[in-house]
Amino acid sequence: MRIALSWMLSGIVRAVLSCHYAAMFFGLITLRYLRVILLFLVIAVLAWSGWQPKDGFTWFLEVAPVLIGLPLLITTRDRFPLTSLAYVLLSVHAAILMVGGHYTYAEMPLFNWLRDVFELSRNHYDRVGHIAQGFIPAIVVREILLRRSPLQPGKWLFFLVASVCLAISACYEFIEWWVALASGDDAVAFLATQGDVWDTQWDMFLALCGSLVSQLLFARLHDRQLARLEAQC
């Protein structure tokens, strides 16, 4: 069990580092071309995700943030452009949501295979999704606070970003609760608790951990990109 968890943790670390190097690479191309590339990729994955998903109702619930966020990012691209890092991470998050929507979080094939091979208690794709729920919004929240408030990089910014990400995760748990109350058994795949009575607490804790790791890993790169973006505006 410990070997399996260590393997999964190392995989998450490798994925995080891949995002880091990807963001550095994308920093070498213009923001305009980056947005076009990412938009094409997200739309392609969205089209695949919506083609014969395992459960249509669950698909809609899971990809709703993408359906809301994508038009918002398009309409604000000139008025409030984000850094390359933020756009790359948001695209990764969109992909995680759309894959989860296509298969449902409890039935993602790769993580079913990992569950069976390592004799895990559940499909852990849901855990990855909730780590991302803190890891990726942390950079967006950090960017908004630095550009639209008097806050400067430091301890208070770090604390407030983590607090906002935890609040976002808690609100998402509220949404899951309300959907479950409104739709009954139809929400089982959306909740993806897989019999874990502590699933809600785990979800919020992992989002909090994701927000902390994201800030520790990306703060310096993010600050450099913010300075470059401000110089261009």
What residue segments make up the domains of the chain, in order of their start?
Answer: 16-232
Q: 213, 204, 187: which is closest to 15 by C-alpha?
A: 213
Contact 215, 143 (CB under 8 A): no
233 residues of the chain, pLDDT tens digit each: 444 444 544 455 455 545 555 555 555 568 888 899 999 999 999 999 999 998 888 899 889 999 999 999 999 999 999 999 999 999 999 999 999 999 988 888 999 898 888 888 888 898 899 999 999 999 999 999 999 999 999 999 999 999 999 999 999 888 888 877 777 655 555 555 565 677 788 889 999 999 999 999 999 999 999 999 988 86
**Whole-prediction pTM:** 0.83
CA dihedral 206, 207, 209, 214 (to 10 degrees): 140
The pLDDT, as a whole number, for residue 35 is 92
Query: Using CA of residue 95, residue 158, residue 209, residue 126, what is the dihedral sign?
Result: negative
Q: 191, 189, 193, 169: which is closest to 178 by C-alpha?
A: 191
Residue 100 zone, left/alpha/beta (φ > 0; ψ -120 to 50; rest): alpha
